Amino acid sequence: MYSINVYTDGGARGNPGPAAIGAVIKTEPVNKTYRISQKIGLTTNNDAEYQAVLAALTFLKDSKNKLGINEKTVINFYSDSTLIVNQIKGLFKIKQPLFKEYILKIRYLEKEIKTDIYYHAIPREKNWEADRLVNLALDG
């Protein structure tokens, strides 16, 4: 089975403050890795976390053919933000209008990708590579 594991992170120094996103996209069994690391301006940690998920989904949609994504591909997203993961999964209520817009964009991108996508909360230590990309963007 062909799968893609996506690790996302977002952070803001000051919350709100200067913010960045990081994402690591790993394909299996082909073993290719793609990285996203960029500043996103002034915002909050939670906003940055959502923007990281959206950036990774956009990359997957735009790279569908290159990555060989089809209806049999399984995509797993991993984030150390339990709040964001549970909001995306529909387990937690979303109060902020901006985050409701993000969920609509996420659902649109999921439909465009046309395969099963799952979201998982993981400990911060297991998300070190995406976290490093956030800090590289903020420091750069």
Q: pLDDT tens digit string along 40-60? A: 999 999 999 999 999 999 999
Place of tokens 């529909």: 90
Q: Domain 3-139, CATH 3.10.110.10 — does that match?
A: no
pLDDT in tens, 80-127: 999 999 999 999 999 999 999 999 999 999 999 999 999 999 999 999
Split at pLDDT 50, 70, 90, the class of 29 is confident
The count of C-alpha atoms lying within 13 angstroms of the C-alpha of 30, restricted to the half-sphere facing its C-beta, is 15
- Which is it for the CA torsion 63, 67, 72, 74, positive or negative? negative
What are the extents of the domains in the chain?
3-139
In terms of pTM, does the model score above 0.85?
yes
